[in-house]
Each structure stands twice: as C-alpha cells, then as structure tokens.
C-alpha cells in the first residue's frame, strides 16, 4: 500500500485512452489531485452528442451543471392507451438524497466536462495501433499518426469496444491467464433506435416550456418489440453489416411509427412525429456484460470498457463517473511507480466497484424485461403498479445511498435523510492522508527543536 511519507517526484504519469464521460472525469480529478496525466481519443473534434452532486460541488462545476438542465420531479410510465401505470416521485428522492435531481443533455454535459481539461493535456485524432506494457519501465502506446505516448499507468476508458481491453486480453490469453468468461464478443439482448430531433414546436409539445422535467415511457403488449436470445452478439451471422445500415434503421422506424407519444398536445401523437423531425437515426445494439478482468500489470479499465449494463438501469454515466472517482482516490495517494503497488490499488478499486457494476447489470436486465410481451411481463408491470409506498422508498433509498466524494478536496456536507453508503476509497485514502500529515507534523517539530 502507499507509504506514509511520499516523494513528489514519485507520482506516476497516467495515460488515459478515451475522452468520454469516464475518461474526462478521471482527468478532471487527477488535475485537482496534482497527478500528471494525458488524455487521448480517436475522435477528431468534440461534437454535440444516482447521484454525483457532491462530486460536482467538490470540483466546482455544480452551478453550471444546474444551469444546463431542468429539475426532474418524476419518472412516469404509461401503458399503450396513455394511462399512467406508475410514477416514481423525485421530490421525495431529493429529500432523501439531499440534492435535487436534474436532467441534462448528454452533449451539454460532455462539453462541460471537456472544458475542465487544460488543452495541453488532451489529444484528439489519436487512433491506437499498439500497446506495450513493461512491468519495470511503464507503458507505451503507438498511434496511427506515428506518435507515441509513454507513462506509468494506462487507463482504458474507451468504451464497450475498448482497444485497451482488447490488447490487454490478447496478452493475457497468450499467457493462459484470461478467464473464459472474458473471451468472446459482447452479447446483447435488444436493439434500439437513436437520434436527435431538430428543435420542436413548444405549441405542439408544451412540456418543452415546462421548467420541470418529467421522464416518461410507454409499455404494453401490442407494440412490435423484439427480443434476442442471450447468446446474440455483434459477430453473430444474423447481425452482419446489412442489419445495421440506413436501410435497417428505416425499416425499424416503420415498425415503431405508431407507438403512442404521451408528451404531446394532441392525444393522437405518435413516435412518428419525432421520427419525421429527426435528420439522422441509427439502429444500435444494447450490449450487456460485466467483465471479470479489470486490470493487469500497469493497465486498468473503467466505465463501459469493463462493465456495460442495459440503458434501462439508467446508471451508465453515473457508474462511469464513480469508477473514475474511486480510481482517482487511490491514484492520488500512490507514491510509487512500481507495478506491484499499482496492482494493489487496482485491486482496491475493483473490490469497491465490481459489486455495484454487477447490481446495475442485474437491475438493467430486470427493468428491460418490463417492456417484453407475454404473461411474465404483464405480471411484472402489474406488480410495479401495485407496489406499496414503503417498498418504493426502499428502492429509492438504494439508488441514493451512493453519493461518493474524493479525499483530496474539501468534503461537501451531506444533508440527505438517507445516510451515504460507506465508500472504501474515500475513507481508506483519508486515513492514509491523515497518517502522512501526522508524520509531517512530527518531522516539523523535530526540525524546529534542533
């Protein structure tokens, strides 16, 4: 573990591959912790595209974050006849968690994070060609433009189809150290349509003018949802490129045009109204997997690179940021460039985050099944509709218990009625910092006396 009296020169240099939410969050935190780092991403430019509020306050972006979004008061689910089935009250959640919930567009949020990184520490248009890892001398990355990046720690924050993970797993497989559970393509059980509409008319969609945001969904047995078997993957013969081109997206749009849309002014509005106002729509798969191998040697994975849950869980971005936070806590107290000590902090990081990732994965699977056809799905929807208040409170409590903070910035007072869950990386690294401060105080006393 990290020693009590580190040398400033012994801080490792961190190379982050991936400028998504996970990679940017880690970069912001390492900047605050005074740890040297660089971020690399294959994108050539940035395009529009649970609760971590205490963290936003710690790093000083909370006020701007709030200005970019709308407070969310409820998550409502309707049946196909536009009748409200059940609602989750976020007013109650605000009191329990101590902070209001906000919905912010992903593009605005990503831009906010991106602007916190100094320009000289982020490099775009960098496609990884090869990765070399040496336990004694560090890591080296070769990019397609013939440039090279070198450091002591390599963080793979490059998404579900991570190049860093692929390189790491290939090396482990050659050595016979890759678990069979981590070998193979990413599985998925469902597909969806993704797009961003042009500006919508507030007269037809009055909720756009509402200062309060309501998250709405529609379920029912008569919609043409299709679900795949658990063994499906991108490499499966049934899902070659022909399944994912523009023609496939257009065909799926035709299937779902008649789905009801509960947020419009007229009762007969359908998803077709949104489709017609969306210039580009893609058909995408919803990968689902929690990998067992999160690190080896000097390389560690965060976010979708090591765990990918169904979007129904609503925890993808939150888990990515909490991964970055836990890892940053440990890197901030790391006072050695030795791979042995890196492995120790990586082990602590995984021990904290792996159970949460597994729980999010299970939650996503369960919630995604609510929209299935058949008797089991109907029973699930009925049980959800009839769920007593006390049980809803337990579920909301579990959602709000995780309110992590970093140990190297002033802590934020927590005012929630639900106490925050024990955060190992915070409390353990705080203890390390206090021990170091005690040593420094003793040394200062001896020096003064002499």
**pTM above threshold 0.75:** yes
Say how far apart CA 402 and CA 322 lie, in whole Å.
9
Say how far apart CA 336 and CA 10 lie, in whole Å.
5
More confident residue, 227 or 290: 290
E strands present in 58-147? 70-79, 84-89, 102-103, 122-123, 128-134, 138-143
Torsion sign (Cα): 336, 340, 342, 347: negative
pLDDT in tens, 101-117: 778 888 889 999 999 99
Q: What confidence tier does 95 reach under pLDDT thresholds 50, 70, 90?
A: low
Least Cα distance to 296 among 362, 257, 350, 235 occurs for 350
Least Cα distance to 27 among 90, 100, 120, 104 occurs for 120
Say how far apart CA 208 and CA 218 lie, in whole Å.
19
pLDDT in tens, 380-397: 767 766 777 777 677 777
Q: Two tokens at 167?
A: 């390189």
Q: What dotted CATH number matches 8-71+99-185+288-435?
A: 3.50.50.60
For every residue of 298-355, DSSP letters joined together read: TEEE-GGGTEE--GGG--HHHHHHHHHHHHHHHHHT-----HHHHHHHHHHHHHHHHH
Q: What confidence tier does 401 reach under pLDDT thresholds 50, 70, 90?
A: confident
3-state secondary structure 96-118: HHCCCCEECCHHHHHHHHHCCCC
Site of tokens 């440039």 = 147
Consecutive H or E run containing 347: helix 339-368
In sequence order, what are the residues at sequence separation of 6 or more whose Cβ sits closer than 8 angstroms to the Cβ of residue 436? 4, 5, 6
More confident residue, 40 or 403: 40
Choice among 118-122, 302-306, 315-319 with the minimum mean pLDDT: 315-319
pLDDT in tens, 131-147: 999 878 899 999 999 99
Choice among 52-66, 95-109, 203-217, 230-244 with the minimum mean pLDDT: 230-244
Site of tokens 């007969």 = 268
Choice among 30-34, 154-158, 229-233, 303-307 with the minimum mean pLDDT: 229-233
**What residue spans define the domains of the chain?**
8-71+99-185+288-435, 187-210+223-287
Task: Note the pLDDT of residue 200.
Answer: 87
Say how far apart CA 176 and CA 105 lie, in whole Å.
43
User: DSSP secondary-structure letter at 373?
Assistant: -
Percentage of residues in the chain having pLDDT higher than 90: 43
Task: Note the pLDDT of residue 90.
Answer: 64
């Amino acid at each position: 573990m990290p020693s009590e009296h580190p040398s400033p020169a012994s801080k490792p240099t961190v190379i982050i591959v991936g400028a998504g939410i996970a990679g940017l969050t880690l970069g912001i935190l390492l900047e605050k912790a005074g740890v040297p780092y660089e971020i690399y991403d294959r994108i050539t430019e940035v395009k529009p595209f649970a609760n971590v509020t205490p963290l936003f306050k710690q790093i000083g972006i909370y006020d701007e974050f709030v200005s970019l979004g709308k407070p969310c008061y409820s998550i409502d689910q309707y049946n196909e006849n536009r009748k409200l089935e059940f609602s989750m009250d976020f007013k109650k959640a605000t009191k329990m968690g101590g902070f209001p919930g906000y919905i912010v567009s992903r593009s605005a949020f990503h831009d906010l994070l991106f602007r916190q990184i100094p320009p000289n520490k982020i490099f775009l248009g960098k496609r990884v060609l090869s990765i070399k890892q040496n336990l004694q001398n560090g890591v080296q990355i070769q990019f397609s433009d013939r440039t090279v990046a070198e450091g002591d720690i390599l963080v793979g924050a490059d998404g579900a189809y991570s190049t860093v993970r692929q390189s790491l797993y290939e090396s482990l497989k050659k050595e016979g150290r890759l678990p069979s559970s981590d070998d193979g393509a990413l599985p998925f059980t469902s597909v969806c349509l993704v797009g961003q509409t042009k500006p919508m008319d507030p007269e037809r969609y009055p909720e756009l003018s509402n200062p309060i945001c309501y998250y709405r969904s529609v379920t029912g047995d008569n919609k043409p949802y299709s679900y795949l078997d658990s063994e499906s993957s991108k490499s499966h013969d049934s899902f070659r490129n022909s399944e994912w081109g523009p023609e496939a997206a257009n065909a799926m749009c035709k299937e779902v045009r008649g789905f009801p849309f509960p947020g419009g002014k007229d009762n007969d509005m359908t998803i077709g109204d949104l489709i017609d106002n969306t210039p580009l729509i893609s058909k995408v798969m919803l990968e689902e997997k929690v990998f067992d191998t999160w690190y080896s040697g000097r390389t560690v994975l965060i976010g979708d690179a090591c765990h990918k849950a169904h979007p129904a869980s609503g925890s993808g971005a939150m888990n990515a940021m909490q991964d970055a936070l836990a890892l940053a806590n440990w890197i901030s107290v790391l006072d050695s460039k030795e791979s042995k000590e890196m492995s120790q902090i990586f082990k602590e990081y995984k021990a904290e985050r792996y159970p949460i990732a597994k729980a999010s994965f299970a939650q996503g699977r369960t919630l995604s099944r609510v929209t299935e056809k058949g008797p089991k799905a109907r029973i699930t929807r009925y049980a959800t509709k009839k769920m007593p208040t006390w049980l809803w409170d337990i579920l909301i409590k579990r959602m709000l218990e995780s309110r992590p903070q970093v140990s190297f910035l002033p802590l934020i007072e927590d005012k929630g009625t639900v106490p925050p869950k024990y955060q190992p990386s915070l409390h353990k690294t705080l203890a390390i910092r206090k021990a170091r401060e005690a040593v420094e105080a003793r040394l200062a006393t001896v020096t003064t006396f002499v």
